[in-house]
Chains A and B, each alone.
Chain A
Amino acid sequence: MLELIVISTLNGVLFGMLLFLMASGLTVIFSMLGVLNFAHASFYMLGAFFGFQISRWFGFWPALLIAPLLAGMIGAGVERYGLRRVHRNGHVAELLFTFGLAFVIEEVVQIVWGRSPVDYRVPALLDFPAFTIFSTNYPAYKMFMLLVSIAIFIGLLLVLKKTRIGLIVQAALTHPHMVGHLGHNVGRVFMLVFGVGTALAAVAGVIAGPALVTQSNMAGLLGPILFVVVVVGGLGSLPGAFVASLLIGLVQTFAVSMNGSLAGAFGPLSPAYASSWVADIWGVTIAQIAPIVPYMMLVLVLIFRPMGLLGTRDT
């Protein structure tokens, strides 16, 4: 039991930090541009596939640097030549543009790399067990992922709190119009933020790719969870995104490792109900409902606290 708790906590925190790498970019982009970037998870996927391709050509470490740069440049281009153009047509058009973009990126990835998972391996340097607890070997690569995400988290915090550009970004989170009135080149800040945000998502992709499955449906699987994180944490709130990332990471990791069901708790149903839909609910295990837990949280949060856990803006 203790083993399960320790391992699940480690995995949950790791998944949560990965989520935060993406959610941070998404929530800053939303606060500044007012558009929820549907294609954000697609940049995570691009990061993973770029990472795979570049690590084949030059090795993993150059990939860790080049892949996010590439994805960030694509992201900046999308903002400059796509979103800015669509902006005149309103928020719905912006949201739809990113929706279409996500669709196209998935298709392109399928064309270039195919539909089946690619063989993206953990670099040999990190392919050993870091430590052993309760007879379970914990891979060093996962510790590396955790360290990278924490390092980026600290770096992001420093940039936001200590630099001038961070000051502008922070101001734009709450008062985007005022920042423009003060004479900052809001367009360039937007492009930068979009580029950095998508690059962060790509970093998450590069480091998560070898540990998870690098496949063309990974954006579609992760995208909705990412929205759950951002909405549960509170749209436009970075601390909220952090808390919600860890929360969802932990909840999902713990849920998949639990086997309890109503049948297990209260005994099996009488045979009269065995073939009805009640039996489905009675027999389903917590591990089986793990995929829908985040969405239940989303619906509950939107009912009882529409601004999210730490959000202040009422969307």
Chain B
Amino acid sequence: MSVPAASAAPPLPTAADRLKFYGMWLIAAIVLLLLPRIFGSGGALTTFSLIGISIIFSLSYNILLGQTGMLSFGHAVYYGLGGFLAIHAMNIVIGDRLPVPLPLVPLIGGIAGLLFAVLFGWVSTQRSGTAFAMISLGVAELIASSALILRTFFGGEAGISTNRTKLLKLFGWSFGPQIQIYHLVAAWTLIAVIAMYALTRTPLGRVCNAVRDNPERVQFVGYNPHVVRYLAFCFAGFFAGIAGALAAINFEIANSAYLGAEQSGTVLFATYIGGVGFFVGPIVGAIFVTLLSLGLSDLTQVWQLYFGLIFIAVVLFAPGGLTGLVMMHRPLLKAATLPKVIPSYLVALPPTLAMIAGLVLSIETIVHYTVNPGDDPHIRAFGVGFDAASRSIWALAAVLLVGGFLVARKTWQWVAHAWDDAASVAREKGRPA
């Protein structure tokens, strides 16, 4: 009997691998430092801060959904409680003149999130799957409704506010200007992202993946899936608390919307649209969704509808999310069969875009007649002006929608064929798609 080679530890990384690995984080840090120099306006800095907070929150959510396979509908509870505790801590620090600088406050939020995750987690994580999803929803509704009852702590509808500039000053930083907040958020984002990446490389992170894929087998091996899920839940709560505290610092206020279903839904959208299968997925999703929600609201009145439609489209057609779509092409790229697929994409693109244009045109026309009837029918959506009352626009919308759909359906079948061909060639070359 020979010793199975698979049980041997993987070879130590070479110097080049290490350089690539640490270089990546270094580049990320440099990019974070350079960003405010390139886009220095106040609006851009606020956007970057929001994106950073969203990245931490989405990654913490992916510890549950992507890595441990737990679908939570109440992750905002830990985000919100982290935010509230951070605000209260800041007010206490200001009141008692304690020597705590602002950069440490997110840690307080994180510990708050961790404590509440420890408290609620043991019960929540007894089961995975639908039962976990339901209990997370129940806990979320419980906390969100309690926030309106316990007025002294949660401040009722108005929320609780603070003043971030009144804390102990470090190196003369008052944290009044947005640029200083940007640096605070960027630093915490980098720390949290590295910490969460490190978590995926630990034995715990690996067992989490095993619990996601096959809990029964994990039990046979001798781990308790419940404990593993509980630990993952606690870590997720900790990082969500950090994100919540950063949000509280950014806005200088915490209110019951922080804990609500909408916040939980947004983080779920961001994580899933980005892709739960890869570590960078939630980062991509957080950037995409934050930019989308800020950008779409300028372009159209009914941006939330488009937001929902994009989410459904991702669930239907790209279950791996945006990163999943990109990563799908890696084996083809390596096997050099990508050129087989590109022409079919180019063929499928125009009818698909036509269909989307037709859909947008119809939605905007309908919106004109239902939301603002009697207004001037010359409306603008996505920067394009058109006459919603003209018959030719209606006909154009219908032709684009129906014709685009019929043609697109046909072309996507070609894409599927071309894809199968390319993938089977790649498989023969030893790179399974």
Contacts and interface: CB of A to CB of B under 8 A. Distances in A.
Contact of B135 (A97, A235, A302, A314): A302
Interface stretch (B44-52, B186-194, B226-234, B310-318): B310-318
B305 interface: yes
Nearest to B262: A220
Interface stretch (A11-19, A84-92, A134-142, A191-199): A84-92
A159 to B, nearest CB: 26
Interface string A140-155: 0000000000000000
B138 A228 contact: yes
Interface residues on B, range: 35 or more
A99 B261 CA distance: 12
Contacts of B305: 104, 107-108, 111
A299 B142 contact: yes
A91 B134 CA distance: 14
A315 B309 CA distance: 30
Contacts of A156: none
B366 A295 contact: no
Contacts of A82: 312, 316
Nearest to B312: A100
A82 B265 CA distance: 20
B127 interface: yes
Interface in A108-125: 108, 111-114
A303 B302 CA distance: 41
Given A91-B129, A112-B370, A315-B129, A224 B149 contact: no
A95 B152 contact: no
Most B CB atoms within 10 A — which of A36, A97, A224?
Answer: A224
Given A275-B152, A302-B138, A315-B127, A96 B304 contact: no
A306 B309 contact: no
A298 interface: yes
Nearest to B311: A100
B252 interface: no
Given A107-B302, A111-B305, A280-B150, A227 B134 contact: yes
Contacts of A114: 370-371
Given A85-B316, A97-B312, A103-B265, A292 B366 contact: no
B319 interface: yes
A180 B126 CA distance: 32
Contacts of B312: 82, 97, 100-101, 104
A115 to B, nearest CB: 10
B381 interface: no
Contacts of A101: 312
B138 A100 contact: no
A288 interface: yes
B165 to A, nearest CB: 26
A111 B363 CA distance: 10
Nearest to B302: A111
A281 interface: yes
A270 interface: no
Residue of B307, B312, B315, B371 contacting most chain A CB atoms (<10 Å) = B315
Contacts, number: 126
Interface in A245-279: 275-277, 279
A211 interface: no
A93 interface: yes
B319 A280 contact: no
Interface centre among A89, A96, A306 (most CB of B within 10 A): A96
Interface centre among A104, A280, A289, A295 (most CB of B within 10 A): A295
B104 interface: no
Interface in B260-317: 261, 265, 268, 272, 302, 304-305, 307-309, 311-312, 315-316
Contacts of A224: 137-138, 141, 261
A92 B71 contact: yes
B133 A95 contact: yes
B146 interface: yes
Contacts of A292: 141-142, 145-146, 149
A107 B311 CA distance: 13
Contacts of A299: 123, 135, 138-139, 142
A224 B153 CA distance: 25
Contacts of A10: none
B315 A96 contact: yes
Contacts of A275: 152
Contacts of B18: none
Contacts of A104: 305, 308-309, 312
A5 interface: no
B170 to A, nearest CB: 32
A111 B137 contact: no
B247 to A, nearest CB: 22
- Most chain B beta-carbon contacts within 10 A, residue among A276, A279, A302: A302
B367 interface: yes
Q: Which of the listed residues A100, A103, A281 has the most CB atoms from chain B within 10 Å of its own CB?
A: A100
A103 B261 CA distance: 12
B130 interface: yes
Contacts of A235: 130
A77 interface: no
Nearest to B363: A111
B315 A93 contact: yes
B149 A288 contact: yes
A130 interface: no
A187 interface: no
Nearest to B71: A92
A276 B151 CA distance: 10
20 contacts: A36-B134, A86-B319, A92-B69, A96-B268, A97-B315, A99-B73, A100-B312, A101-B312, A103-B304, A111-B366, A114-B371, A224-B137, A277-B153, A280-B152, A292-B146, A295-B138, A298-B135, A298-B138, A302-B135, A315-B131
Interface of A: 36, 82, 85-86, 89-93, 95-97, 99-101, 103-104, 107-108, 111-114, 220, 224, 227-228, 231, 235, 275-277, 279-281, 284, 288-289, 291-292, 295-296, 298-299, 302-303, 306, 314-315
Given A111-B366, A224-B137, 11 more contacts: A85-B316, A89-B319, A92-B69, A96-B315, A104-B305, A111-B305, A114-B371, A227-B138, A292-B149, A298-B138, A315-B127
Interface of B: 65, 69, 71, 73, 123, 126-127, 129-131, 133-135, 137-139, 141-142, 145-146, 149-153, 261, 265, 268, 272, 302, 304-305, 307-309, 311-312, 315-316, 319, 366-367, 370-371
- Nearest 9 pairs of A and B residues by beta carbon: A104-B308, A89-B319, A298-B138, A107-B305, A103-B308, A295-B142, A100-B312, A292-B145, A100-B311
